[in-house]
């Protein structure tokens, strides 16, 4: 069982929902990423989605675009992201890490080299935003062969066929994009989420996390009523953007703590 | 479009040209692309759709565009004969409008009242705004804020035509960032909005449908060349940024192996300087903007800034079908520098009384390089894809002249 699957199983046994924060590696600087990973763990993260910055983040809204630009301006690279994950593991960090990014940096490194390097670094899962299942069956198989979980997106508009494709190609969990649009965008349709998630979970046979549009404890609590995990990204990046450097990690831990308590209140 | 050539069957059902093309987008865009593919499949062989397209091209665009034998320039070069396919004479001054009409007709069929587009120099934006006005559609054009500054006249043109121009502040603030932003708009407003992509790039089915709409250029040439010169050309030459004018003129010639196809990329200040936009000549395959193709990128897979004197060629990728034609050696791709393109620009002005677009000047420059090496009975057909009115200030600035 992968570290991600184990995490979800343990949470389920305790009647808890998973909290999955997202940050972009290298934002606000490469040196801050390791302390931020610790801050996320301290704030109650069950799984961490670590963004690999890309020059053309087509599926992201302005907040994560800015994070990506800051990271690249400070020299962050895919290789650098893997090094940070290694350091996190070396100091005993156990929280599962899912790399989230775009296809081109992975292809530039070479898919085979990437899979080996990610496994060696201690990565647990990989979500490539612009790799829909039909374009990456081979890549997904290579990840699974290296005991890494290929994580896929599903959307409100996904057809039954897409859900079946993703169920076959993916493992670990499904990332359900709760609204049309880009990351950090407007309105979360909770009724829609409540309607779709049970159906998707029953078809994919793995936990379903919901993200895009979750901004506070209340929306997280409501989503957690139907989902297995809550993914929260842009809102954390805003904390990072708005805090003075010396206060960044404390702010992130404190913010994530509010979400954690909302989710755990859910289980009681 | 009933234009399936006998031996050439690309792309496949999922949009692949060999290893290139495909659908590399986030899940949120997949249904929109499925819907577009279905609408295009239903339209491409529908006689009503084709008749309307033909009518619009004839009466609104002014097609067919003529082929002109540039005798004085050919004589001066002292070798092969140069023939110009006059896309510069189209309404709005370039080939771009052919595709915009086709896509706007699809948008109407799909019941989408709003169209969006990305633009670099503004030519595709102007063509989209034009067609949107013609059909009474809401139109939003995304343009890098750098380009908004540099292309003030085209920005005003789009506004005159009723379009809203949105400056894009992210990334390098140029064409590629405008494309990212248009994609983001589309994914957010997909129920009401049709995204009119301006070139043969992007996720399937865009490279195919833009090629099909633009292939009117080459189909006309197939008829016109025998009428004018008694036979098909020996070479067909076109500039390549994204590559839509080149695909448009190449496609009907793909199954005539005697005709050599040459795509001309922007070598900027020279490939060796790193300041260029020659993705096929100097790039590596990768994934950007929904398709796999040759890209200008650094070692880490980040897309790099490009340079060309011609904004329309200033793009770090290229249509996936060109990537395939390069690898399969059906077409060859060469580079022309800013300086060579400018020389051809001035020569055509002085010798033929035609002011070409700087983009097209790259194709002209390669013809000027090639012609003297060939006998006088060889025929070079060059796609004069646009006129140069938009480039006045760029060319003047190079000569130290301010308006």
pLDDT in tens, B133-155: 999 999 999 999 988 987 888 99
A51 contacts in chain B (CB < 8 Å): none
What does pTM read for this prediction? 0.95
**CATH superfamily placement of domain A3-263:** Aldolase class I (3.20.20.70)
Confidence of residue B6 (pLDDT cuts 50, 70, 90): low
**CA distance to partner chain A, nearest, from residue B209 (Å):** 20
Mean pLDDT of B234-254: 98
**Structure confidence by residue, pLDDT tens digits, B347-395:** 999 999 999 999 999 999 999 999 999 999 999 999 999 999 999 989 9
Please provide the average confidence, as pLDDT, over all residues in chain A.
93
pLDDT at residue B2, rounded to an integer: 46
pLDDT at residue A268 in the model? 40
- Tell me what the mean pLDDT of segment B82-111 comes to: 98
pLDDT of residue B167: 97
289-348 in chain B: CB under 8 A from chain A: 289-290, 295, 297, 299-303
Residue B290 predicted with pLDDT over 70: yes
Taking CA–CA distances from A78, the nearest residue in chain B reads B300
Give the residue from chain B lying closest to A174, CA to CA: B27
B interface test, pick of A26, A52, A59, A79 with most B CB neighbours within 10 Å: A59
Q: In the prediction, which pLDDT does B66 show?
A: 98
**B58 flagged as catalytic:** no
Q: What is the pLDDT of residue A184?
A: 63
Nearest Cα of chain B lies from the Cα of A54 at a distance, in angstroms, of 6
Q: Which residues of A are catalytic?
A: 49, 60
Taking residues A99-115, report their average pLDDT.
98
Nearest Cβ partner for A103 among B14, B287, B300: B287
**Domain limits, chain A:** 3-263
Cβ <8 Å between A154 and B27: yes
Check residue B190 and give its pLDDT.
87
Contact B30 A65 (CB under 8 A): no
For residue A89, the model assigns a pLDDT of: 98
Split at pLDDT 50, 70, 90, the class of A182 is low
Is B14 in the A-facing interface, judged by CB distances under 8 Å? yes
Q: Residue B180 is nearest to which of A58, A177, A185, comparing CB atoms?
A: A58
Active site residue B118: yes
Provide the pLDDT confidence category of residue A267 given band limits of 50, 70 and 90.
very low
Q: Provide mean pLDDT across the span A184-209.
A: 84
At residue A181, does pLDDT exceed 90? no
* Minimal Cβ distance to A56: which of B27, B28, B180: B180
Model ipTM value: 0.94
Instruction: Tell me: pLDDT of A146 over 80.
Output: yes
- Smallest Cα distance from B144 to chain A, Å: 13
Assigned token pair, B58:
């004839």
């Amino acid at each position: 069982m992968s570290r991600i699957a184990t995490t979800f199983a343990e949470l389920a046994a305790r009647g808890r929902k998973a909290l999955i924060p997202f940050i972009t590696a290298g934002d606000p600087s490469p040196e801050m990423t390791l302390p931020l990973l610790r801050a996320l763990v301290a704030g109650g993260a069950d799984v961490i989605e670590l963004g690999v910055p890309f020059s053309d983040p087509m599926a992201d809204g302005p907040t994560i675009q800015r994070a990506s630009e800051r990271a690249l301006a400070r020299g962050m690279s895919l290789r650098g992201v893997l090094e940070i994950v290694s350091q996190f593991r070396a100091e005993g960090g156990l929280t599962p890490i899912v790399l989230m990014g775009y296809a081109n940096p992975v292809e530039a490194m070479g898919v085979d080299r990437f899979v080996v390097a990610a496994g060696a670094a201690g990565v647990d899962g990989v979500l490539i935003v612009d790799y829909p299942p039909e374009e990456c069956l081979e890549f997904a198989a290579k990840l699974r062969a290296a005991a890494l979980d290929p994580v896929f997106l599903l959307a409100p508009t996904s057809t039954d066929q897409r859900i079946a494709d993703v169920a076959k190609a993916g493992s670990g969990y499904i990332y359900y994009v709760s609204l049309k649009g880009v990351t950090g965008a407007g309105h979360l349709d909770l009724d829609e989420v409540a309607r779709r998630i049970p159906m998707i979970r029953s078809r994919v046979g793995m936990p379903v996390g919901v993200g895009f549009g979750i901004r506070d404890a209340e929306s997280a609590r409501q989503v957690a009523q139907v989902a297995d995990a809550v993914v929260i990204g842009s809102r954390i990046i805003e904390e990072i953007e708005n805090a003075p450097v010396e206060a960044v990690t404390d702010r992130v831990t404190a913010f994530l703590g509010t979400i954690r308590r909302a989710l755990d209140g859910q289980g009681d | 479009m009933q234009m399936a050539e006998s031996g050439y069957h690309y792309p496949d059902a999922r949009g692949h040209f060999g290893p290139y093309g495909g659908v590399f987008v986030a899940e949120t865009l997949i249904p929109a692309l499925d819907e577009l593919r279905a609408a295009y499949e239903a339209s491409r062989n529908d006689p009503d759709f084709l008749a309307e397209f033909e009518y619009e091209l004839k009466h609104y665009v002014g097609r067919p565009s003529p082929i002109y034998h540039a005798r004085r320039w050919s004589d001066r070069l002292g070798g092969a004969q140069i023939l110009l396919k006059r896309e510069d004479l189209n309404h709005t001054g370039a080939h771009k409008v052919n595709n915009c009409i086709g896509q706007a007709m699809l948008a109407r069929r799909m019941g989408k009242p709003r169209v969006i587009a990305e633009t670099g120099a503004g030519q595709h934006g102007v063509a989209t705004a034009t067609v949107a006005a013609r059909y009474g559609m809401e139109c939003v054009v995304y343009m890098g804020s750098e380009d908004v500054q540099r292309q003030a006249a085209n920005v005003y043109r789009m506004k005159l035509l009723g379009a809203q121009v949105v400056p894009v502040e992210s990334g390098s603030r140029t064409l590629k960032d405008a494309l990212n932003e248009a994609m983001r708009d589309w994914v957010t407003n997909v129920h009401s909005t049709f995204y009119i992509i301006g070139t043969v790039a992007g996720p399937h089915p865009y490279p195919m449908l833009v090629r099909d709409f633009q292939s009117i250029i080459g189909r006309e040439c197939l008829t016109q060349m025998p009428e004018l010169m008694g036979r098909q050309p020996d070479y067909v030459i076109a500039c390549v940024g994204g590559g839509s004018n080149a695909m448009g003129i190449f496609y009907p010639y793909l199954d005539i192996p005697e005709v050599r196809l040459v795509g001309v990329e922007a070598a900027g200040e020279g490939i060796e300087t790193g300041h260029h936009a020659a993705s096929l000549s100097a790039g590596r395959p990768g994934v950007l903007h929904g398709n796999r193709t040759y890209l200008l990128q650094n070692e880490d897979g980040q897309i790099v800034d490009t340079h060309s004197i011609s904004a329309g060629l200033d793009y770090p990728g290229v249509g996936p079908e060109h990537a395939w034609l390069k690898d399969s050696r059906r077409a060859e791709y060469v580079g022309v520098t800013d300086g060579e393109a400018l020389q051809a620009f001035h020569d055509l002005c002085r010798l033929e009384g035609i002011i070409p677009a700087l983009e097209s000047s790259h194709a002209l420059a390669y013809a000027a390089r090639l012609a003297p090496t060939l006998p006088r009975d060889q025929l070079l057909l060059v796609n004069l894809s646009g006129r140069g009115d938009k480039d006045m200030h760029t060319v003047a600035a190079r000569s130290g002249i301010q308006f």
